[in-house]
Structure 1
Amino acid sequence: MKTFLGLTAFLLASASIAQVQHNTLSMSFVKIPAGEFLMGSDEKPETMARDYPQLPRERFELLQDEGPVHRVRITKAFWMGRHEVTVGQFRRFIQASGYVPESEADGTGGYGWRADYDPSKTRRGDAFEGRDKRYSWRNPGFQQGDDHPVVNITWNDAQALADWLTKTEGRRYRLPTEAEWEYAARAGTRSRYHSGDDPASLLKAANIFDADSARHWPHWQAMALAGHDGFAFTAPVGRFAPNAWGLHDMHGNAWEWVSDWHADDYYKNSPVDDPQGPPDGGVKVRRGGSWHTWAFYARSSYRNWNAPDTRYTLVGMRLVREALPGE
């Protein structure tokens, strides 16, 4: 069953890779075909402990929300952002709409990196400083160009961008559902990453926590991939190899908000066709990992979550543009 579903999705996708659309903010969208896949992971803790020896065993006992593995059918094709939303695209949205992001509107700011910040001397021990009004999407504490993924974006900010594009262009934009996100990220695979099962395969496919990033956090050196991807912080979007469906940075660079509320037991009750997530909740799901994420947490099946007003120096977004009849 796994082989059949994966092969079917891959074959369906092969015809759609060349289909790309662009919008008024110069975003590129790749057509993702309707199809079926197996969502989630059923890997045993023993296997995880063997392949990720840096992490304590108890981490692998806390993945119940990744199962059970279940069949999902995406019944309609959709257009997925080829890249994460960039700083430049978000800036143009702000300038055109007058929208004030939450990190600025509430005056509390976001999170950011500071060279002399010592997590061990703080109450929470967080890797980044914040909330602080010095930090926002404009300034995560490190240098970014307009072609880098925008971060310090709340779920509500992402929704505001999607709503503005919908109103401006007359085409519906939205965040992907969690099922759409994993379907698109896997691109016909059943491995941990679209690049395979080996964490080292991410060095060419993703910007995650490696030797370049670890030099700023030497006490987490053991968690870093033993190699260099060339970027200590965010990378320009599209610098790493795409998956089979032409999508870049589905692993790493920036965590990506999806539309769903999170529930640990949702997969047990998920419908087969186009699951939308629980009807309500307290936290929204984010997927894919970031430039500061350990390889284990960048797996296609891994689920993380935050309150909708969370703004963090690792969290950004990717949008979906719904397909018109006949596209």
Structure 2
Amino acid sequence: MRKLTLKLCLWFVVCLVGALPTGCTTAEPEQTVAVIPEQTIAVFNIDWSDAPLDVVTRVKLDSYMYGRFASAGFKIAPYYTVGGRVDDRRRLSQDGCDDLPCRSAIGKELAAQKLLLSRLIQIGGSCWLLSQIYDIKTETMEKVAEATGSCTEEGIAASIDRVIAAFKGEVDSTSVASRVETKQVPDRGSRVINVSIWLDGELAGETPIAIPENSSGIYQLVLKSPDFVSTEGELVIPDAQHALFQGELVGNWGQIHVTSDPPGAAVRLDDRTVKNKTTPCVLERVKPGLHTVGFELDGYTLRDDEVIVEQGETASVSIKLYPEHGHLAITSSYTDGVKCEGDLRIDGKLVGKTPWAGFVTAVVPHIIEVQCPDGKARREVFVRVNWSEEEEVVVKVMPKSVGSCLDGWCLIPAGRFKMGSPLSEEGREEDEGPVHSVRIKRPFYMKQVQVTQGEWVAVKDGSDGSIPDDFGPCGENCPADSVSWFEAVAYANVLSEKEGYETCYTMSGCRDLAPGVLPDLLDCVITFKGVGCKGYRLPTEAEWEYAARAGDTGPIYGEPEEIAWYSDNSSLEIHPVAQKAPNAWGLYDMFGNVGEWVQDKYHDSYHRAPTDGSAWESPEGIFRGTRGGSWYCSANDVRAADRKHAEPDHQFEGIGFRLVRSVR
């Protein structure tokens, strides 16, 4: 640990009269030494740190001191040149230019032989002005003058006048009481250090102070501060002279380097928690002596160790934390209750196959992943200390044949179809053409029904979102209605994460987008990973129409009354899912009830549209496509080729969504 020091300069300005212990007499005129005016003096601004005056007053008094010195016949370096050099130094260094070496360097640059250094200290209702003329060549204080007066602008100006008179030899500057001043320097904790001054065993006070008049002689001086080692020395005051004592305080503390395995433990020092410190860390400003360091980490036993700290040294404490355990038993089964044996990973590490039992760290959460032959599942579990937990992991099974649906998912085969509508189709709009051939290159799973309100709430509760307030009284088995496109893709990502799949959307600038939380459309950028992504996603427009047709080439696969909720039969309200007949591939409500978001950006025709089933994301645009129509649409709008569009950040009544997932 580097040595921490605080340098203190003590100025004793004394009135001395032979052997008299008290009192004050005026010195003989011939004893006064005046500064030679021919030598150039660099006048620095007054140090105002101990006198709370406003900036305007300080600037006026600094200018006044410079002008008074110049008019008194002293040869002065240009005032604004001195100030400019100080400002330059401050811009280049955080320490500014408050120390003597820096100011001496400025004096030399300006061809000055001497420096005028002044400081104003407020003591009660009075202000004490201490001015010193420093000889750069001999590195000594040549002359010290002081004056005390009121802290008003006029009172300080009068003190400046008396100091200048003293330097010219017109008055005796020693005819005042003795004073002691130390420069108070904030330590690394930004706490101001107050140093006690002891003279011959008696407390004189804390700096800055005025002390009673003292005779010339030798005094035993002691500097004391709670956080530093006391410093002793002799203060020699010659007859009719000022005394300078330079002392150094060495920090009375050490520090402790603290580590733990594993890291991240909260740290206690002598039974008190250290705020904002976790291992590994360094505890600074620790008093020398014996200390107890404690460690606390969720899921691990509490531990502590003792360490001896020496002044100015770094002690080390390193400790091994031992986990607290609980017993965990895991079995797995499919949704139909049939047991399955699968690879088991706990927190990403393969630990064996289900059924499995063993000990795991208690209190902290664990991620369990099971991969059975026909599916996988993922969940989070907690185990209590010295407790046995049993977990049944239910694995979702996906269908294996076209037309079959399992656990609410239907297998959609690869294939070709004609996308769009011919000119002769009733209700046709211009954006439905031209009819073009599309090849769906890979099979995919499509959700058998639209995402329901119950499913929305279950996934939303795992995110930071809120439920849209337009669901109405229909119930949890009704479609999630009034959902924006942004919310739909956020839902897909959250569900993918929850079940341990790859997320299909990357998001930037979306400010914690989640189901129920709308982003700023101008800031939120969402990038789709493509139809090869293995997680949940929205269908492309081509995938949606291909699945809706289910091999049928007509406008709709049945009579609207039998397969869809639309304006003629819905009573202009939403209905529970799966109440109408499904299509040939087992999908319900592909038409009516609520419209469904698709991945693609909306284009007003199919010119230059993709023919491979991928999403049409360019050129840049605002609107996203919706398909299928809703409960308030006419029969002409519940057709396989019908296309709608909406702004992706809006929650439009009658728009929901269903998800797809690529076959692995």
TM-score, normalised by the number of residues in structure 1:
0.67
Per-residue CA deviations over 1:29-75 (Å, capped at 9, x if unaligned) read: 1110001100000133xx63xxx6xxxxxxx6xx2210010000000
1:208 aligns with 566
2:479 to 149, 154, 159: 149
- Counterparts of 1:318 and 1:206, CA distance in 2: 16
Task: Give the deviation of 1:210 after TM superposition.
Answer: 1.1
SS in 1 for 2:648: coil
2:420 aligns with 40
Per-residue CA deviations over 1:161-187 (Å, capped at 9, x if unaligned) read: 001112222330000000000000000
> Which of the pair is proportionally richer in helix?
1
- Counterparts of 1:14 and 1:295, CA distance in 2: 34
Which residue identity is paired with 2:563? A
- Counterparts of 1:302 and 1:269, CA distance in 2: 19
1:16 aligns with 402
The 1:97/1:211 distance shift into structure 2, 3 A limit, reads closer
Which residue identity is paired with 1:163? N
- Counterparts of 1:152 and 1:17, CA distance in 2: 30
Residue 188 of structure 1 pairs with residue 551 of structure 2: yes
The 1:277/1:212 distance shift into structure 2, 3 A limit, reads closer
Which residue identity is paired with 1:30? C
Per-residue CA deviations over 1:222-279 (Å, capped at 9, x if unaligned) read: xxxxxxxxxx4111110100000000000001000000001113x1212321231132
Task: Give the deviation of 1:212 after TM superposition.
Answer: 5.0
SS in 1 for 2:610: coil
Which residue identity is paired with 2:413? P
Check conservation: 1:263, 1:278, Cα contact below 8 A. no
Task: Give the deviation of 1:19 after TM superposition.
Answer: 4.3
- Counterparts of 1:89 and 1:275, CA distance in 2: 27
Residue 175 of structure 1 pairs with residue 538 of structure 2: yes
Instruction: Report sequence identity in percent.
Output: 38
The 1:270/1:211 distance shift into structure 2, 3 A limit, reads closer
> Which of the pair is proportionally richer in strand?
2
- Counterparts of 1:90 and 1:143, CA distance in 2: 15
SS in 2 for 1:310: coil
- Counterparts of 2:641 and 2:599, CA distance in 1: 16
1:268 aligns with 607
- Counterparts of 1:282 and 1:270, CA distance in 2: 17
Per-residue CA deviations over 1:54-105 (Å, capped at 9, x if unaligned) read: xxxxxx6xx221001000000010000100000111011111222246xxxx
2:662 aligns with 322
Residue 257 of structure 1 pairs with residue 597 of structure 2: yes
Check conservation: 2:493, 2:537, Cα contact below 8 A. yes
- Counterparts of 2:590 and 2:434, CA distance in 1: 22
- Counterparts of 1:151 and 1:168, CA distance in 2: 22
Check conservation: 1:73, 1:272, Cα contact below 8 A. yes
Task: Give the deviation of 1:14 after TM superposition.
Answer: 11
Structure 1: runs of 5 or more not aligned: 1-12, 23-27, 53-59, 102-136, 196-200, 214-231
Check conservation: 1:81, 1:319, Cα contact below 8 A. yes
Task: Give the deviation of 1:15 after TM superposition.
Answer: 4.3
Structure 2: runs of 5 or more not aligned: 1-398, 502-534
- Counterparts of 2:414 and 2:493, CA distance in 1: 24
1:106 aligns with none
- Counterparts of 1:94 and 1:70, CA distance in 2: 39
Check conservation: 1:181, 1:258, Cα contact below 8 A. yes
2:452 aligns with 86
SS in 2 for 1:260: strand
- Counterparts of 1:159 and 1:30, CA distance in 2: 20
Structure with larger Rg:
2
Which residue identity is paired with 1:39? M
Q: CA RMSD in A?
A: 1.9
Q: How does 1:153-168 map to 2 (within 5 A)?
A: 153-168=483-498
How many residues end up aligned between the 2 structures? 232
1:307 to 622, 644, 647: 647
